[in-house]
Amino acid sequence: MSALTSPPGDKKGLAKTLKSQWQLLLMSVPMLLYAILFSYTPLMGWVLAFQVWRPRIGLSTFQQFRQNEWVGFYNFRQLLDQNLFMGRQFRLAVENTVAQSMLILIFGTIGAIILSLMLHEVRQIGVKRIIQNILYLPHFLSWVIVTGLASVALAMPVSGGFINEVLLTLRIINEPVHFLANPQYFWGIVAGTHLWKNLGWNTILYMAAMTAIDPALYEAASIDGASRYRKMWHVTLPCIRPTIVILLIMSIGWLMQSGFEVQWFLGRGPNLPRAENLDTFILRYGIIDGNFGLATAAGIIRTGLSIALLTGANFVARRLGEESLF
């Protein structure tokens, strides 16, 4: 009898299960310690959100926590009061973060599913591996390199901006566009760079789910006269739907984090109103200015919103009868 099937209060069944699976429990200890050390221990630093941090030489961290001035919810009021400059900047950062993350999620998910379906239909194993390796390569490039390439690609034609050259050649535009100087393009730039860098890598889980599909389903569809496209629509997509739902729920939990490097390296004066997200806000107005309490308060708000989004997405998935995380 397993721990999941043991009736409530069945301590003997639980003890028997723990004893029979002690190897698995032992293997989980390093990851448990890692989570405690790097995910839960830093939560003690949340106390900074309610203090004015003034570093003092010769004192330990805990001694400084005790001696700092307590300001209550002052830092939170600074962020949430729309009549203050900091409150308006924080609201703008939240809006940009959600918008950028939504575009990354939509284009990334749809693109990864379509690409996975296309790769799944490639019958030559050698050709499929070559294509996969080419698609995976951008994932291993650092964001510094990716933003540098994006900056060159989006530049004016005289500076080597091939995107402008292609659009001019195809007569889509009549004159070069300075993409990085126009705020309305920045959300698309963020989504496009993430799509180029992570599209191939994001197909791995979908491809793994497709390999677990029973071949008999495809054989039955062939007998019924289904074409390749019909098989993809009526067999492949329904079979990988649980994987899609789980990945969507997990991605929604990250909507409050749209990245840092693209916004920081490509965010300049003209496009800064669309480039400022929560990560750059925390760095610019919190860490660089030495206002660690404000930065911590912004991080707490972001964590709360992420938990709410994750819980809400999981609840909706359960109500619709789909797979859920908990």
CATH assignment of the domain containing 113: 1.10.3720.10
**Residue 3 domain-assigned?**
no
In the 3-class helix/strand/coil scheme, how is the chain assigned residue by residue? Answer: CCCCCCCCCCHHHHHHHHHHCHHHHHHHHHHHHHHHHHHHHHHHHHHHHHEECCCCCCCCHHHHHHHCEECCCHHHHHHHCCCCHHHHHHHHHHHHHHHHHHHHHHHHHHHHHHHHHHHHCCCCHHHHHHHHHHHHHHHHCCHHHHHHHHHHHCCCHHHCCHHHHHHHHCCCCCCCCCHHHCHHHHHHHHHHHHHHHHHHHHHHHHHHHHHCCCHHHHHHHHHCCCCHHHHHHHHHHHHHHHHHHHHHHHHHCCCCCCCCHHHHHHCCCCCHHHHCCHHHHHHHHHHCCCCHHHHHHHHHHHHHHHHHHHHHHHHHHHHCCCCCCC
> Considering the entire predicted model, what is its pTM?
0.86
**Residue 104 domain-assigned?**
yes
**Residue 107 domain-assigned?**
yes
**Residue 314 domain-assigned?**
yes
**Residue 186 domain-assigned?**
yes
Tens place of pLDDT per residue across the chain (326 aa): 444 445 555 667 778 888 888 888 899 999 999 999 998 888 888 998 998 877 777 666 677 777 788 898 999 999 999 999 999 999 999 999 999 999 999 999 999 999 999 998 888 888 889 999 999 999 999 999 999 999 999 998 888 788 999 999 998 988 999 999 899 999 999 999 999 999 999 999 999 999 889 999 999 999 988 888 999 999 999 999 989 998 998 899 889 999 899 999 999 888 999 999 999 999 999 989 888 899 999 999 999 999 999 899 888 888 877 777 77
Give the domain range for residue 193.
Answer: 46-319
**Residue 24 domain-assigned?**
no
**Residue 242 domain-assigned?**
yes
Provide the domain count of the chain: 1
**Residue 75 domain-assigned?**
yes
